[in-house]
Structure 1
Amino acid sequence: MPNPQQIYQRQAVMNASPLRLVVKLYDLVLQATYQKDAERVKDVLATLIESLNFDYEPAGELFQLYQYCQDLARKEEYEEIREILEPLRDAWEAADKKEQPNGDSVSG
Structure 2
Amino acid sequence: MVLRNPYQTYQKQAIATSSPEELTLKLYQGMVKFIRLSKMALQNNNMEECHRYILRAQDILNELMVTLNKEYAVSDSLLPMYDYMNRRLIEANLKKNIEQLEEVEGFAVELSETWSTAMKLNKK
TM-score bin (small chain): 0.7 to 0.9
Cα deviation per residue 1:22-68 (whole Å; 9 max; x = unaligned)? 11000111111112222111111000001101111011211100010
Instruction: State yes or no: 1:60 paired with 2:70.
Output: no
How many angstroms apart in 2 are the aligned matches of 1:99 and 1:12? 21
Please name the residue that 1:106 is paired with.
Answer: none
Work out the number of aligned pairs and report it.
101
Distance in 2 separating the partners of 1:90 and 1:19 = 13
* Aligned structure 1 segments of 4 or more residues deviating by more than 3 angstroms: none
Rounded to whole Å, the distance in 2 between the matches of 1:28 and 1:95 is: 18
Between Structure 1 and Structure 2, which shows a larger proportion of helix residues?
2
Where structure 2 has 5 or more consecutive residues not aligned to the other structure, the ranges are 39-52, 93-99
* Matching residue within 94, 100, 106 for 1:83: 106
TM value normalised by structure 2: 0.75
Counterparts of 2:10 and 2:122, CA distance in 1? 23
CA RMSD of aligned residues (A): 1.3
Distance 1:98 1:15 in 2: 21
TM-score for both structures, normalised by structure 1: 0.86
- How many Å apart are 1:96 and its aligned residue? 2.0
Higher Cα Rg, which structure: 2
Unaligned stretches of 5+ in structure 1? 104-108
In the other structure, the counterpart of 1:71 is 87
- For the residues of structure 2 that align with 1:72 and 1:45, how far apart are their CA atoms? 12
Residue identity over aligned pairs, in percent, reads: 29
